[in-house]
């Protein structure tokens, strides 16, 4: 394991930024701002999960909202059906995200490039319909589960929990990234054919990494459900595909920690745009995203190393 | 026991013949494969490495039929190949490029590989910061990290100056002393003849000569046809 990763400026800065957002939200004491930071943390977890697999390997996965939805919906299901406690609800979200990630990637990772991207989009769409049909047959609420337990009665305490989760996930991913598996991931992104020809069968590494990543996205879905106390079918929506990818790309694709500052910038911006311009948010956000990508074509990670 | 045996291997690309009924065996430490452009040298090396599968024929490594094995399994068995055009992993340092392959067969000694290939001063540099000659060495270092018994080297002297070629020849001699066996494809026959023990000469996909270097140099047909009657290879 290469411990230099943990001494890097980007790692230390990321942790400091997360802590700073908690302190600022306490200082400002605005529920809307606290909720914004909390949502940003959840999207950053998603982005990091996505970037860890897709960003580093260049296998662009358009299916993450499916795994987010799985995490959220199963949190509702397991709470109402088995009355699981919050820690177990989060663990099951990782488990089901991992398993569904495993099943889907084992089928899709045999193809590359645009074919993989297309399959990654299609299979979760089919999966979403399947889950909805399954839910209906079982006479379960397809609209969603209301009244889920909250991480805490206080929004600010919930923010501390979620920030801690984010820090733990960053440490776990960095630990994995600093091992030989991390090297293999970067190698896949660089030149997978050369790796195959020179002795490394990449397939099972990819399946493992994508499964872990989708498990992490599942956790984000569960944390979202536990923060909003609602888990609905809307969690499978486009918004939960678009934002994490924009954050990851603005942060610097494959750079993982660039998602931390990028996530706060993008979510704070979009939340406050929503507050002031309402229905024009998406248009303004898209315009802003285009400007950002023109100004920072390689993301902001260059300034964040 | 022949360490490597190629039996009646042919390769066709559509209707085009790249190799036809090539049979040879490797009993020496350094085998040079020569031939003009389009002779099928790289195709043959890629077939031995498992990157291409032959249209016909079989490959044996230590009496084991490896014809249908994937490239990475052949590397695990002990056969590794360099690329003709260097393909370093550009987001990794020299050390990381070597580390990447160090766990395939046993655990290779990365320090030793860096030392033997003369990359000590470039250990923490990225490939884009390396002179071309050192990129060639890095390509060999990556292959050495897999701890192979046979190294398949595809035009290792391509693009190098005389000084760099001399460096590589010294490296190959060191590797031979360390028990490695080398199969080298090269255009610059004169450089390779300094160290090769046996020669396989191909032309337009067919085997023209197989045998020791001495006999190769004495072969009047080859001299006449390929070198214009002079031994100026």
CB contact under 8 A, B71 and A196: yes
CA distance B141 to chain A (A): 12
CATH of domain A3-303: 1.10.3470
Pairing state between β B79-81 and B150-154: parallel
pLDDT-based confidence at B228, cuts 50/70/90?
A: low
Map out the domains of chain A as residue ranges. Answer: 3-303
Domains with residue ranges and CATH for chain B: 30-42+78-227 (3.40.50.300)
Nearest CB to B91; choose among A184, A186, A197: A186
Q: CB distance from B135 to chain A under 8 Å?
A: no
pTM for the complete prediction? 0.87
Share of chain B above pLDDT 90, in %: 71
CB contact under 8 A, B89 and A200: no
Residue A206: what pLDDT?
A: 93
Task: Using the structure block, give the residue that is written with the tokens 């303004």.
Answer: A284
Beta bridge mates, B13: B16
Residue A194 with chain B: CB contacts under 8 Å:
83, 87, 89
- Cα–Cα dist A170/A71, whole Å: 19
CA distance B86 to chain A (A): 10
Residue B233: what pLDDT?
A: 47
Residue A276: what pLDDT?
A: 85
- The neighbour count for residue A129, using CB atoms within 10 Å, is 11
Averages of pLDDT over each 10 residues, chain A, 305 residues: 77 94 95 95 96 90 91 92 94 96 88 86 80 76 84 93 95 90 92 91 93 96 94 83 89 86 92 83 82 80 65
What is the complex's ipTM, to 2 decimals? 0.85
Beta bridge mates, B26: B4
pLDDT in tens, A192-249: 999 999 889 999 999 999 999 999 999 999 999 999 999 888 888 888 888 899 899 8
Residue B107: what pLDDT?
A: 76
- Better-scored residue on pLDDT, B192 or A219: A219
- The neighbour count for residue B220, using CB atoms within 10 Å, is 8
CB contact under 8 A, A183 and B104: no
Residue B126: what pLDDT?
A: 96
- Return contacts of A170-173, CB within 8 angstroms, 24+ apart: A170/A11, A170/A14, A170/A15, A170/A48, A170/A257, A170/A260, A173/A48, A173/A52, A173/A216, A173/A256
Q: CB distance from B149 to chain A under 8 Å?
A: no
Task: Using the structure block, give the residue that is written with the tokens 């009496």.
Answer: B63
Residue A296: what pLDDT?
A: 80
Residue B227: what pLDDT?
A: 67
pLDDT in tens, B106-163: 777 899 999 999 999 999 999 999 999 999 999 999 999 999 999 999 999 888 888 8
Residue B220: what pLDDT?
A: 81
Residue B73 with chain A: CB contacts under 8 Å:
201
**Structure-block tokens of residue A169:** 């996930």
Q: CB distance from B80 to chain A under 8 Å?
A: yes
- Cα–Cα dist B158/A195, whole Å: 22
Nearest CB to B92; choose among A183, A200, A201: A183
């Amino acid at each position: 394991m290469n411990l230099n990763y943990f001494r890097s400026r980007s790692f230390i800065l990321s942790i400091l930024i997360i802590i700073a957002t908690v302190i600022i939200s306490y200082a400002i004491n605005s529920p809307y701002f606290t909720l914004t930071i909390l949502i940003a943390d959840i999207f950053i977890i998603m982005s990091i999960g996505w970037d860890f697999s897709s960003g580093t390997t260049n296998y662009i996965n358009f299916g993450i909202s499916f795994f987010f939805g799985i995490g959220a919906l199963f949190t509702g299901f397991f709470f109402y059906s088995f009355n699981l406690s919050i820690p177990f609800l989060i663990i099951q979200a990782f488990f089901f995200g991992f398993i569904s990630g495993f099943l889907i990637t084992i089928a899709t990772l045999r193809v590359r490039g645009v074919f993989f991207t297309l399959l990654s989009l299609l299979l979760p769409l089919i999966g979403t319909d399947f889950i909805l049909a399954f839910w209906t047959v079982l006479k379960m609420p397809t609209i969603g589960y209301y009244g889920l337990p909250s991480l805490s009665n206080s929004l600010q305490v919930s923010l501390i929990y979620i920030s801690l989760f984010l820090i733990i996930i960053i440490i776990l991913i960095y630990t994995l990234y600093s091992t030989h598996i991390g090297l293999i991931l970067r190698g896949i992104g660089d030149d997978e054919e050369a790796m195959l020809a020179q002795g490394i069968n990449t397939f099972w590494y990819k399946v493992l990494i994508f499964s872990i990543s989708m498990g992490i996205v599942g956790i984000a879905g569960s944390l979202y459900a536990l923060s909003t106390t609602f888990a609905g079918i809307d969690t499978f929506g486009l918004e939960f595909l678009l934002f994490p990818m924009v954050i990851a790309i603005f942060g610097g694709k494959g750079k993982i920690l660039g998602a931390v500052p990028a996530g706060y910038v993008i979510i704070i911006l979009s939340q406050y745009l929503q507050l002031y311009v309402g229905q024009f948010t998406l248009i303004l956000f898209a315009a802003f995203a285009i400007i950002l990508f023109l100004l920072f074509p390689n993301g902001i990670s260059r300034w964040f190393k | 026991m022949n360490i490597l045996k190629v039996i009646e291997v042919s390769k066709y690309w559509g209707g085009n013949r790249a190799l036809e009924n090539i049979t040879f065996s490797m009993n020496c430490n350094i085998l040079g494969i020569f031939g003009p452009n389009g002779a099928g040298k790289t195709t043959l090396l890629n077939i031995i490495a498992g990157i291409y599968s032959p249209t016909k024929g079989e490959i044996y490594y230590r009496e084991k039929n490896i014809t249908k094995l994937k490239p990475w399994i052949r590397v695990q068995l002990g056969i590794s190949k360099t690329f003709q055009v260097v393909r370093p992993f550009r987001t990794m340092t020299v050390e990381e490029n070597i580390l990447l392959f160090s766990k395939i067969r046993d655990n290779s000694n990365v320090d030793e590989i860096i030392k033997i290939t003369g990359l000590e001063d470039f250990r923490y540099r990225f490939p884009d910061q390396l002179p071309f000659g050192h990129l060639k060495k890095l390509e060999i270092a990556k292959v050495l990290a897999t701890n192979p018994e046979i190294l398949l080297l595809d035009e290792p002297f391509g693009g190098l100056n005389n000084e760099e070629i001399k460096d590589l020849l010294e490296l190959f001699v060191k590797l031979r002393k360390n028990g490695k066996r080398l199969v080298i494809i090269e255009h610059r026959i004169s450089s390779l003849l300094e160290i090769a023990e046996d020669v396989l000469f191909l032309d337009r996909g067919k085997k023209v000569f197989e045998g020791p270097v001495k006999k190769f140099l004495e072969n009047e047909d080859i001299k006449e046809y390929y070198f214009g009657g002079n031994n100026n290879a």
